[in-house]
Amino acid sequence: MSQVGFYGLGSMGICMALNLQKHLQETKQPSLHYSNRTLSKGETLKAAGGVEEPNYAALVKSCDIIFTMISNDKVLNNLVDVALLAGSIRGKIFVDTSTVHPDTAVQSSEKLTNAGASFIASPVFGANAMAASGKLIFALAGPRAVTDLVKPLILNVMGRSIIELGEDVSKSSMLKIAGNVIVIGLMEVISEVQVFAEKVGLGTTIMEKMIADMFGPVAESYSKRLTTGCYAPPHGTTPGFGISLAIKDAKHAISIANGHDMRLNVSEAALSHMLNARSYAGENLDSSSMYGTIRQESGLPFWSENSRQCI
């Protein structure tokens, strides 16, 4: 049996890893090995039977299939370099579930393939709640022989569906970035309409009911990130999706669009609002915190009655 590993235990990664460990136990496969920059974040995984490795190099050495869920392109580049220095990686399969630039995915694939390993780019769609319930959507691209090997570790384990994009790993990264254009655009539009509702006297509760009835539970969930104050959570509370990650994703999308002679006008507006929110209130904000900036631009406080009330 293959030894499976997982690196990157942020708010998404820990949920994914726990579901993967549960599956391995239920199917009587070797326990998941894991590592993370901050090892203490793996305590719940250790309690569930996971096996801690001291660092990524040790994880690579001990595992045949290694999943990663990390924050940005720089981290992935560093992990690839570490893997290449960890000894022979011939035959190993690296599965990155993060959102990175398509060029980064291609470069990672080339480096690992040249060393005899395989690389699968499989960024995921879905927030923390979907990760916890094993309902993420995986955009999967890589060599067919190895994607078939990892699918049983994904479907009905960490994800509810797989979108297959062939062997070109840039395609899955591009699809994820395209999906983020929709998500960021929805957050921008819903932020605007909720501020509009407050300014004209309709109120956010009525507007949220209309959003739910007209556009369904996904749009309603985005609205609730605003109305419940999750866009600016209390200090010490992890945002649902951190603002710096969303800024990174928006910049990737805008850069790629500009390279293809087009503009993403809504994404550009959202990026500006997120940058202003981070400048005003710091890093501990959700990607939906463009809502605070739009409130300010409309003469309202950045903070709502349900959000935290301080910088």
**Predicted confidence (pLDDT) per residue in 84-93, tens digit:** 999 999 999 9
Residue 240 one-letter amino acid: G
Active-site residue numbers?
Answer: 176
Residue 65 one-letter amino acid: I
Has residue 229 got a pLDDT over 90? yes
Do residues 102 and 256 touch, judged by C-beta distance below 8 A? yes
Do residues 159 and 136 touch, judged by C-beta distance below 8 A? yes
Do residues 197 and 173 touch, judged by C-beta distance below 8 A? no
Per-residue pLDDT band for 125 (boundaries 50, 70, 90) equals: very high
Do residues 53 and 17 touch, judged by C-beta distance below 8 A? no
CA distance 134 to 128: 10
CA distance 119 to 110: 8
CA distance 6 to 52: 10
Q: Name the β-bridge partners of 35.
A: 7
CA distance 289 to 247: 11
Residue 292 one-letter amino acid: G
Q: What's the pLDDT score for residue 158? A: 98
What is the average pLDDT value for the chain, to the nearest integer? 97
Tokens of 209: 């009911």
Query: Helices 73-84 and 102-114, interaxial angle, to 10°?
Result: 0
Tokens of 95: 């599965």
Helix, strand, or coil (residue 231) = coil
Average pLDDT, stretch 164-170? 97
Alpha helices in the chain (DSSP H): 11-26, 43-47, 56-62, 73-84, 102-114, 128-132, 144-154, 169-200, 204-227, 243-259, 265-281, 290-297
Domains belonging to the chain, first-starting first, are 4-167 (3.40.50.720), 177-297 (1.10.1040.10)
Has residue 240 got a pLDDT over 90? no
296-303's contacts with Cβ under 8 Å and 24+ in sequence apart are 298/195, 298/199, 299/199, 300/195, 300/198, 300/199, 302/232, 302/277, 303/232
Has residue 128 got a pLDDT over 90? no
Nearest to 300 by CA among 248, 249, 226, 207: 226
Average pLDDT, stretch 9-34? 97
Q: What's the pLDDT score for residue 129? A: 85
Cα–Cα distance list, 52 to 5, 9, 40, 45, 280 (Å): 10, 12, 10, 9, 39
% of the chain beyond a pLDDT of 70:
100
pTM of the model: 0.91
Q: What's the pLDDT score for residue 133? A: 96
Strands across the sheet containing 136-140: 124-125, 136-140, 159-164
CA distance 19 to 226: 29
Has residue 276 got a pLDDT over 90? yes
Has residue 201 got a pLDDT over 90? yes
